[in-house]
Amino acid sequence: MPEPILNIQGLKAFYGDFQALYGVDMYIEPGEVLAIIGANGAGKTTLMRSVTGLLSNGPGQIHFQGNDISQLRADEVAMQGLAMVPEGRQLFPSLTVKENLMIGAQVGRQGPWNLDAVYRLFPILEERKDQASTSLSGGQQQMVAIGRALMANPDLIMFDEISLGLAPIVIKDIYAALPGIINGGMSAIIVEQDIAQALKVSSRVYCLQEGRVSLEGASDKVSREEISRAYFGIE
Ligand code: ATP
């Protein structure tokens, strides 16, 4: 097995007295697409935020490309080559599409992704580049959020619920862009509510339930029954 690009061991997370993660173990290999599924409140976003340094971590280890990143700030994690497309997109409303994309470039990493490459991936963004990001549709805003993460030229990109609130046709467009993103060897973690979609695009899947890993397996091997049990806790 190759050295994992990201290796999480025994990760715990707290909001005050409330414990949201109970010793999560998880890894992703270079070039792999990993899916994380789980019901509302299972801890998926908390896990993403812990890894990217947006939430100060409790006990546990997070190694990225061999380096311990568990105590790094979000900007330091980004510089190491890990980018997140956050749930809800979180664009800067007063900035244009192009200006939002350029935020990603501030990380200062070199690589294949620049404005031209993002515009080739999502041509509509070039047409709208000088418009306020708020004037775009939800799907187009999601494209900006993805483009902004790509502009940081990450080695691992994490998508937190990219299909949330989008129409099925738009979700299809967004997922159609995925091969163009990962073909260059980038690894990806996809957090998804849509289980079928998650299994379709990934090679391995983890299910979280109440802050614990309830299932880990190859996406084309896990059964519906295993997923139901892991997702809902139904015996
Ligand atoms: P969702 O699909 O709703 O985003 P999730 O799997 O991403 O769910 P988290 O958002 O990580 O779940 O939440 C995990 C647990 O932590 C939930 O019980 C949630 O209520 C709690 N939680 C999340 N954010 C906070 C916060 N800022 N303060 C207190 N508790 C929180």
From the candidate CATH numbers 3.30.460.80, 3.40.50.300, 3.10.129.10, 3.30.1130.10, the one assigned to the domain spanning 6-232: 3.40.50.300
pLDDT at 50: 93
pLDDT at 1: 73
Which token pair is 98? 């192009």
Question: Which range has the worst mean pLDDT, 27-31, 64-68, 148-152, 227-231?
Answer: 227-231
pLDDT at 53: 84
- In angstroms, the CA 212 to CA 120 distance is 39
Best mutation site among 11, 18, 195 for ligand 1, i.e. most ligand atoms within 8 A of its Cβ? 18
**Average of per-residue pLDDT across 143-162:** 95
Assess contact for 142 and 166: CB atoms under 8 A: yes
For ligand 1, residues with CB inside 6 Å are 15, 18, 20, 38, 40-46
CA-derived radius of gyration, the chain: 17
